[in-house]
Amino acid sequence: MTIDHPVLDHRLAGYSIADLSAVLTPALAVYAGNVAHNIETTIALLGNNPARWRPHLKTTKLAYVMRMLAARGVQAVKCATTLELSTACEVGFNDVLLAYPVSGSNAARVAEIALAFPRVAISALVDSPRQLDAWARSQVSLFLDVDPGMKRTGIPHRDLQQIVQLAQRIIEYGIRFRGLHYYDGHLTDAGIEARTKKAHAGYDHVLNIVRALEAAGVPVEEVITTGTPTFPCALSYTGFVGESFTHRVSPGTLVFSDLNSQAFLPESFGYRLAALVLSRVVSAGAPERFSCDAGHKSVSVDPGIPNCTVLGWEGLTPSRPSEEHLPISVAPGAEAPELGEILYLAPKHVCPTVNNFSHALILQDGNIVGVEAVSARGHEGPIWHANKEL
pTM of the entire structure? Answer: 0.95
User: ∠ at Cα 275 (273, 280), nearest 5°?
Assistant: 115
Q: Which residues contact 129 (CB under 8 A, 6 or more apart)?
A: 165, 166, 169
Query: Which pLDDT score is estimated for 53?
Result: 98
* Residue-level pLDDT at 11: 74
- For residues 141 and 76, give the distance between their C-alpha atoms in angstroms, rounded to a whole number: 14
CA distance 306 to 25: 20
Query: What residue spans of the chain are helical by DSSP H?
Result: 6-11, 32-45, 63-71, 82-91, 104-116, 160-172, 192-215, 231-235, 259-264, 350-354
Q: What is the pLDDT of residue 369?
A: 97
pLDDT of 8 reads 59
* Rg of the chain on CA atoms, in Å: 22
Q: What pLDDT shows up at residue 286?
A: 87
Contacts 24+ apart (CB under 8 A), 283-289: 283/325, 283/339, 284/336, 284/337, 284/338, 284/339, 287/330, 287/336, 288/329, 288/330, 288/332, 289/319, 289/327, 289/328, 289/329, 289/330
Chain mean position to CA 213: 30
User: What pLDDT tens digit does each residue of the chain (390 aa) get?
Assistant: 344 454 556 678 889 999 999 999 999 999 999 999 999 999 999 999 999 999 999 999 999 999 999 999 999 999 999 999 999 999 999 999 999 999 999 999 999 999 999 999 999 999 999 999 999 999 999 999 999 999 999 999 999 999 999 999 999 999 999 999 999 999 998 899 999 999 999 999 999 999 999 999 999 999 999 999 999 999 999 999 999 999 999 999 999 999 999 999 999 999 999 999 999 999 998 889 999 999 999 999 999 999 999 999 999 999 999 999 999 999 999 999 999 999 999 999 999 999 999 999 999 999 999 999 999 999 999 998 776 443
- Give the sign of the dihedral formed by CA 207, CA 209, CA 212, CA 217: negative
Backbone angles phi, psi at 345, to 5 degrees: -100, 125
* pLDDT value of residue 384: 81
What domains are there in the chain, each with its CATH number? 6-30+270-373 (2.40.37.20), 54-250 (3.20.20.10)
Q: Would you state the pLDDT for residue 175?
A: 97
Phi-psi region of 34 (alpha: psi -120 to 50; beta: other; left: phi over 0): alpha
Q: Are 29 and 14 in contact (CB under 8 A)?
A: no
- pLDDT at res. 10: 63
Cα angle 235, 67, 232 (rounded to 5 degrees) comes to 10
Contact 223, 190 (CB under 8 A): no
CB atoms closer than 10 angstroms to residue 157: 20
Q: What is the pLDDT of residue 271?
A: 97
Q: How far apart are CA 109 and CA 88, in angstroms?
A: 15
Q: What is the pLDDT of residue 285?
A: 83
Query: Measured between alpha carbons, how far is 217 from 171 in angstroms, rounded to an integer?
Result: 11
